[in-house]
A and B are shown apart, each in its own frame.
Chain A
Amino acid sequence: MKKKIAILMSVLLACSPAAAYAEEGLTEAQKETGFTEEVTLDVAMMWSLDSTTDAKSYALNNALERLKEDYPNITINYDGSVHDDYQTIMMTYMASDSLPDVFNVKGSWIPNMVANGQLGTIDEFLEADEEWASGFANNILFDMEYDGHYYGAPFQNLSCSLIVYNKEIYSSVGYDSFPQTWDELIDCFTKLQEAGYVPLGMGNSGQWVANSCVFGALGYRGAGDSWYSDIMNGTGDGFLDANMLQGVEKMAELSQFMNENMNSLDQFEVMPPYLKGEYASYVDGSWTFGTLIATADEDQSMVEKSGVAVFPAFEGGLGAGTTTPGGAAWGQAYNANLTGAKKEAARIFIKYISDEQWCMDLAEKGDFGGMSVDYDYSQTSPLVAEYVALKQTLTDSQQYDCHFDTSVIDAMNVGFQELLLGEITAEEWGRNVQDEYEMTLE
């Protein structure tokens, strides 16, 4: 017995320095989670690591550094491309069933990817880390939900329809604040036009701006809540819905106040004429601030004179005017085939690219992460602070182009270009999109 104890003691003695040594080499985070296995993750995302203008690129670089410090055992093989190209790459990966371990997922991709067994649910990640999970509001997680499960961690909080306007110019035509009703808006735009300004600038060469930033708001103001679920469930009148078409008619009405070259400018190209005072306002999303501030560069006077507002509601419409289409739209997701240590590494990495620090890093650059963070935006610009105050008074409505079928979105986008040029009417637009929509239902 004594011999056995002696052997046991000596083994323990021999092990303890080694154990202490091993413990010493670990980081605090590793000690806390006990995750020390060497893992390499293949990651594909829509941001280049070297971009100097992209807030997400800045936050991602910081997240990778934090991960390296906390978990030197996780190696990230990062392949970054830009937004549109990323979608091409992912379509190929999906078609060939060769997705990377961690990637960005778009809300509208989730149903297909889940059906093909390509996308893992983050439900268990959210349950495992309640502190992190509680940072996401329900409306932010909405875009990532499918069939009762969540499939992506939100990394941004977008408001897709905002009007940035020059307060001085508006006040010169008698509007000291942004018009509160549709009639006031039309009256204001008419006066602005008479005074020689372009009342509302828009850069729709990418085709999606008219859909995301204008129809997203006006469609909702016409149709209210139920139309979205009708479209998703294949019920109701679809794109021939009379209430929704009111929103499209209002879009057509607005086109007379927009810049004529709206379909050949992109959303960045409307900023210079706005900053020169040629445009009284322009329509874009919450991503606009960083670029507007950077474009104004040393002369921030025009930005400081700017205010931010949303489209008012109109008579006969079912939706409220205190909404903006918004939410996460995209999320950080992982490959359903991951198991064991790789899955745990993916969980940790996904947390680093969506947590509070990620959101703080974005805030520093005038961008907004998936969680609300305590950050003084007025140090970025008073305009951003005004937006943050406005955002608190608004509720998010659905971002149609994040959820509808891709072919339907394409039909909508092409139709909007024709509608805004006056080539087709709202009803014709509805019929064209309905044809495409019915094909997807079949």
Chain B
Amino acid sequence: MGKIESGLKKFGSLLVNVIISAFSLFCLFPVVWMLYSSLKEESEFKRNLLSLPIQLHFENYLTAVKTGKMDTAFVNSVLVSVTAVAVLLFIAFLAGTIFGRYVFKGKTLLYTMFLLGMLIPVHSLLVPVFIELKIFSLNNNRFVLALIYAAFGLPKAIFLMTTYASTIPRELEEAAIIDGGNTHDVFFQIFLPISKPILSTITILSFLDAWNEFPFSLILMGKPELKTLPIALTYFTGQYSVDYTPMMAGLAIATLPVVIVYFIFHKKIMEGMVAGAVKG
């Protein structure tokens, strides 16, 4: 009986593993396909979408850099995304901690206003933001684009930070004050180190949003030298033609930094994901 039971258990776990592995493969395949397709010749790719490359054509990467101006776009994307994330982290950390830890007049109203930002579809702001920036001659400016990304990311970031900050034990704050620490010390020596997991989550989420953002970058960056990666990737599509293999190479170039950022932060992200789940 025991044998049958343990056999059934083994079979069950095997089945679960097979299903999960199949799902993983299903998710991984597009990335693997993109990577090996980026090394195929254009006509080979068009003739057979799924076949492996016969010869490795690394020159697709050179074409990608040249055609899509991926080098300039890469630098632009890094500058815009890093600035956006830095500004957003700073504001979200301070605002979120204050909302989570302190009671003051108008707190609910302010917090609700921030949260309402999550309900506004950003695309509806495309034209008004463009007009506003044009009046002040602020379009075609990477820093301004970064500020816009930071503004769009703030509601979500403040929501996450507030939820997290409210879980930090009050004793820690009190101990710091008893030891002679001021508000600055409490924020940057107590709250900041404790908040690392949630700040990592916010970093990766907002970095991904800024890195992949398309419509605002398309409209606000009118000069070729200011275009970001998602815009550069469209250059492989002509009016009636598509250059697929250099586009795959371009996609690989655009994807790798995101994967790297994810691997750097992934442990913290998982901590951050569950951190706010159980209070106390």
Tell me the A residues contacting B by CB distance below 8 Å: 44, 46-48, 50-54, 56-57, 77-83, 85, 88-89, 92, 95-96, 98, 267-268, 271-272, 275-276, 285, 287-288, 290-291, 294-298
Give me 11 other A-B pairs in contact (C-beta within 8 A), A51-B243, A98-B130, A290-B240 excluded.
A48-B234, A51-B238, A52-B246, A53-B242, A80-B235, A81-B218, A85-B234, A92-B126, A95-B127, A287-B239, A290-B241
Q: Is B222 an interface residue (CB 8 A)?
A: yes
Contact of B47 among A77, A275, A290, A291 (CB under 8 A): A275
Q: Given contacts A89-B218, A294-B241, is CB(A276)–CB(B47) below 8 Å? A: yes
A57 CA / B235 CA spacing, docked (Å): 11
CB-CB nearest in chain A for B240: A287
Q: Which of A82, A92, A275 touches B219 (beta carbons < 8 Å)? A: A92
CB of A291 within 8 A of CB of B218, answer no
Let me know if B43 and A48 touch, CB within 8 A: no
* A-B CB proximity, top 3 nearest: A54-B238, A297-B43, A287-B240
Do B224 and A53 touch across chains, with their CB atoms under 8 A apart? no
The answer, yes or no, to whether B80 is at the interface (CB within 8 Å) is no
Least Cβ–Cβ distance between B17 and chain A, in angstroms: 32
Residues in B whose Cβ lies below 8 Å from that of A298: 43
Q: CB of B46 within 8 A of chain A?
A: yes
For B246, the chain A residues whose CB sits under 8 A away are: 52
A-B residue pairs in contact (CB < 8 Å), sample of 9 = A50-B68, A50-B69, A51-B238, A56-B239, A83-B239, A89-B218, A96-B130, A96-B134, A291-B240
Q: Tell me which of B131, B235, B237 contacts A96 (CB under 8 A).
A: B131
Q: How far is the CB of B222 from chain A (nearest CB, A)?
A: 5
**Chain B residue at minimal CB-CB distance from A56:** B239
Q: Are B130 and A268 in contact (CB under 8 A)?
A: no
A79 touches B223 (CB 8 A): yes
Q: Does B154 contact A (CB under 8 A)?
A: no
Given the complex of chains A and B, what is the CA–CA distance between A180 and B67 in angstroms? 45
The smallest beta-carbon distance between A104 and chain B, in angstroms, is 10
Q: Is the CB of A52 within 8 A of B67?
A: yes
Pair B219/A78 contact, Cβ less than 8 Å: no
How far is A52 from B67 in the complex, measured between Cα atoms in Å? 8
B213 interface residue (CB < 8 Å to A):
no
Given A79-B224, A81-B234, are A96 and B127 also a contact pair (CB < 8 Å)? yes
Verify B241–A50 contact, CB threshold 8 A: no
Asked whether any CB of chain A lies closer than 8 Å to the CB of B63, the reply is yes
Contacts A50-B68, A275-B47: A82 and B130 contacting too (C-beta < 8 A)? no
> In the complex, which residues of chain A have a beta carbon less than 8 angstroms from the beta carbon of B69?
50
Question: Are B46 and A52 in contact, CB atoms less than 8 angstroms apart?
Answer: no
Contact yes or no, A50 B42, CB < 8 A: no
B31 within 8 A of A: no
Say yes or no for B267: interface residue by CB 8 A criterion: no
Note all chain B residues with C-beta closer than 8 A to A44. Answer: 222
Q: Is B66 an interface residue (CB 8 A)?
A: yes
A79 CB contacts on chain B under 8 angstroms: 222-224
Contact B67–A82 (Cβ < 8 Å): no
- B231 an interface residue at 8 Å Cβ cutoff? yes
Chain A residues, CB < 8 A from B234: 48, 81-82, 85
Cβ contacts under 8 Å, A52 to chain B: 63, 67, 243, 246
| Candidates A51, A53, A98; contact of B134 at CB < 8 Å | A98
A52 to B241, CA, bound (A): 10
- Minimum Cβ distance to chain A for residue B126 (Å): 6
Chain B residue at smallest Cβ distance from A298: B43
B245-261 with Cβ < 8 A to chain A: 246
A268 x B239 contact (CB < 8 A):
no
Q: How many angstroms from the CA of A44 to the CA of B48 in the assembled complex?
A: 36
User: Do A291 and B241 touch across chains, with their CB atoms under 8 A apart?
Assistant: yes
Query: In the assembled complex, which residues on chain A have CB atoms less than 8 Å from the CB atom of B68?
Result: 50
| A85 and B238 contact, Cβ closer than 8 Å, known pairs A53-B243, A272-B49, A275-B47 | no
Whether B224 pairs with A51 at a CB distance below 8 angstroms is: no
Residues in B with CB closer than 8 Å to A54 are: 238-241
Shortest beta-carbon distance, A109 to chain B, in Å? Answer: 16
Instruction: Provide the bound-state CA to CA distance between A41 and B46, in Å.
Output: 39
Residues of A within 8 A of B42 (CB): 294, 297
Docked-complex contact A88 and B218, CB < 8 angstroms: yes
> Could you tell me if A271 and B240 are in contact, using CB atoms closer than 8 angstroms?
no
**Also in contact, A272 and B47, with CB within 8 A (given A82-B238, A88-B219):** yes
Which residue of A47, A48, A298 has the most chain B CB atoms within 10 A of its CB atom? A48
- In the complex formed, the residue of B with least CB distance to A273 is B47
The reply to whether the CB of B215 lies closer than 8 angstroms to some CB of chain A is yes
Whether A47 contacts B238 by the Cβ 8 Å rule is yes
A89 to B243 alpha-carbon distance, docked (Å) = 22
B238→A294 contact, CB < 8 A: no
Q: How far is the CA of A23 from the CA of B224 in the complex (A)?
A: 35
- Structural contact, A80 and B224, CB atoms closer than 8 A: yes
By a CB distance below 8 angstroms, the chain B residues around A276 are 47
Q: Which B187-228 residues sit within 8 Å CB-CB of chain A?
A: 215, 218-219, 222-224
A47 to B237 Cα, complex, angstroms: 9
Task: Please report the C-alpha to C-alpha distance between residue A85 and residue B221 in the assembled complex, in whole angstroms.
Answer: 13
**Closest residue of chain A to B233, judged by CB?**
A82
Q: Which residues of B contact A296 (CB under 8 A)?
A: 43
Known contacts: A53-B243, A54-B241, A81-B231. The answer to whether A271 contacts B46 by CB under 8 A is yes
For the complex, give the distance between the alpha carbons of A268 and B45 in Å. 12
Q: B240: which A residues are within 8 A, CB to CB?
A: 54, 267, 285, 287-288, 290-291
In the docked arrangement, what's the CA distance between A297 and B44, Å?
9
Least Cβ–Cβ distance between B251 and chain A, in angstroms: 15
Collect the chain B residues with CB atoms within 8 Å of residue A297's CB. 42-43
CA distance A44 to B224 in the complex (A): 11
CB distance from B228 to the nearest CB of A (A): 13
Among B130, B231, B239, point to the contact of A92 (Cβ < 8 A): B130
**B67–A50 touching, CB < 8 Å:** yes
Given the interface contacts A96-B130, A96-B134, A298-B43, does A53 sit within 8 Å of B238 by beta carbon? Answer: yes
Question: How near does chain A come to B237, taking the closest CB pair, in angstroms?
Answer: 5
Q: How far is the CB of B74 from chain A (nearest CB, A)?
A: 16
Q: How far is the CB of B145 from chain A (nearest CB, A)?
A: 15
Q: Is the CB of B46 within 8 A of A268?
A: yes
Report A-chain residues with C-beta under 8 Å of the C-beta of B127: 92, 95-96
Q: A51 to B69, alpha carbons, bound, how many Å?
A: 11
A56-B238 contact in complex given A92-B130, A298-B43, C-beta closer than 8 Å: yes
